[in-house]
Structure 1
Amino acid sequence: MEQERMARGKEEKRRVILEASLECISRHGYEATRLRDVSEVAGVSIGVIQHYFGTREQLLGEALGHASGALMEHFASLDPSLLSPWEELRGMIGVVCGMPSLHGRGLLWLEMSSLARRHPELRERLDSVYVLWDAHVRAAVGRGVQDGSLAIDSDAGSGSVDDLTAIFLAFFDGYEYEIASSLVPDDPALLERRAVLLAERLFRPVRA
């Protein structure tokens, strides 16, 4: 029991440090973030950070992986066997819109995209998030087409599943850029409402 409590405490401390690292990357950028910055935000000493993560590069690399991993874990929790295709799509929209700090997350993804040109390992992390996000949407839409709950008819000019999925994902990419650039409000409810409106037009759920 005591060992379990200590293990949970260590995992929680790691999580706090990783979240603090992401906040610092959003504020200062990857290149300018220092262990001292993370230490101040996390409320722990630099020695504690080094104990858990070693070098600055190891810490920030794990932090970026933590950011993408959290999103993927939420997607994985949406069980297709318990949800209709439309419910699954709505669930994915809710996950993306419900992540903390849209503005900070937008800045983080912009930073990751910029860094990916110089750091191949970050390119892999970024690509893995997009591929999995794309696969989840595509699977839900394909299931809806198959069972008739989504009224997509590519022969009637509504677009293929590939086309519609690409448009849907591009909406989030563009909207996060606009939030990060302060061109639109950092308003999760507004983003979710607009995302649902777009999804309804693209995927055309059949109402029971």
Structure 2
Amino acid sequence: MSEAKAVRRTRSVTTEAMAERRESILQYASQVISRSGVEGCSFGELSEVSGFSVGMIQHYFRHRDRLISATVEYRIAGALAEWERIYDRGNNALERIHDLLTFSVEGEIPFAEAWGFWLEIYAAAHKNLQIRESVATVLSSWRTLFVRALQEASEENLLNPAADVGELATLFTAVIDGLAIQSLNNIYKSTPEKMIETLHRFAARELGIDPEEFARYKRSKLVAAR
């Protein structure tokens, strides 16, 4: 191997390792925010949890505000990618709506960690313009997926909604957020499992579909396919 090729390979490995280390720090930071809030995500606390030195974390993010912003963007990118995978998996518009509602509870990240993070970020957004803009971006993208699925369902004559598509999409995202707060804090004896059932029934009624049929539809197909 020539010296030039060896240098290029070394640089490539180093760049890859740096990217992996940065992502690992962001994963730990999102966990810290979920448990302790934005204010609790200090370099010292993150170092304690992750095993990375404070100097190493500062090397990647310089100051705390940059770390918080990067963590939010990291979780947004992950959420958007997962949402698109869920959306594309459905065979028709009703399956997509059903899956999106279910995913809001049963995503790749455990419910308590996922919603603990977003609720802390929502709270911080009230006083932080940059975080508020990031929250607006992710909620807009989430709502857009519902708009797309609802428009498809309407075009396919699969529903009889009482409200227009945009209003329904806004209602869905609002109800998801509200039920997540209740489930995360066990208000009204709420649980993630109960949240899924409530979402399915609420959506079915708003869409003019039999709630029992809609609640069983995708789940029964998944079970039958196993």
Q: TM-score category by the smaller chain?
A: 0.7 to 0.9
Distance 1:116 1:145 in 2: 34
List runs of 5+ in structure 2 lacking aligned partners.
1-8, 218-226
Q: Counterpart in 2 of 1:56?
A: 64
Q: Counterpart in 2 of 1:113?
A: 122
Change (3 A) 1:81 1:187: closer
Do structure 1's residue 199 and structure 2's residue 223 form an aligned pair? no
SS in 1 for 2:95: helix
> What is the deviation of 1:143?
0.9
C-alpha contact 1:88 1:140 (8 A) present in aligned 2: yes
> What is the deviation of 1:2?
6.3
Q: Bigger CA drift: 68-77 or 189-198?
A: 189-198
Distance 1:81 1:189 in 2: 22
State the one-letter code of the partner of 2:114.
R
SS in 2 for 1:97: coil
Selected match of 1:141 from 150, 154, 168: 150
Change (3 A) 1:47 1:186: farther
Q: Counterpart in 1 of 2:6?
A: none
Q: Whose helix proportion is higher, 1 or 2?
A: 2
For residues 67-86 of structure 1, the aligned pairs below 5 Å read: 67-78=75-86, 80=88, 83-86=91-94
Q: Percent identity?
A: 21
Do structure 1's residue 24 and structure 2's residue 28 form an aligned pair? no
C-alpha contact 2:182 2:190 (8 A) present in aligned 1: no
C-alpha contact 2:101 2:196 (8 A) present in aligned 1: yes
Q: Bigger CA drift: 59-68 or 192-201?
A: 192-201
C-alpha contact 2:47 2:57 (8 A) present in aligned 1: yes
C-alpha contact 1:102 1:186 (8 A) present in aligned 2: no
List runs of 5+ in structure 1 lacking aligned partners.
none
Selected match of 1:102 from 111, 124, 127: 111
Q: Counterpart in 2 of 1:164?
A: 168
Q: Bigger CA drift: 19-28 or 80-89?
A: 80-89
Aligned residues: 203
> What is the deviation of 1:107?
3.2
C-alpha contact 2:184 2:191 (8 A) present in aligned 1: no
Change (3 A) 1:80 1:145: farther
Distance 2:37 2:105 in 1: 23
SS in 2 for 1:113: helix
SS in 1 for 2:160: coil
Distance 1:4 1:190 in 2: 48
Q: Bigger CA drift: 1-10 or 24-33?
A: 1-10
TM-score under structure 1 length normalisation: 0.82
More relative contact order, 1 or 2 (CA 8 Å, 6+ apart): 1
Distance 1:7 1:46 in 2: 20
Q: Counterpart in 1 of 2:222?
A: none
Distance 2:27 2:89 in 1: 32
Change (3 A) 1:181 1:189: closer
Distance 2:143 2:137 in 1: 10
Change (3 A) 1:92 1:82: closer
Distance 2:206 2:140 in 1: 20
C-alpha contact 1:104 1:180 (8 A) present in aligned 2: no
- Please provide the CA RMSD for this pair: 2.8
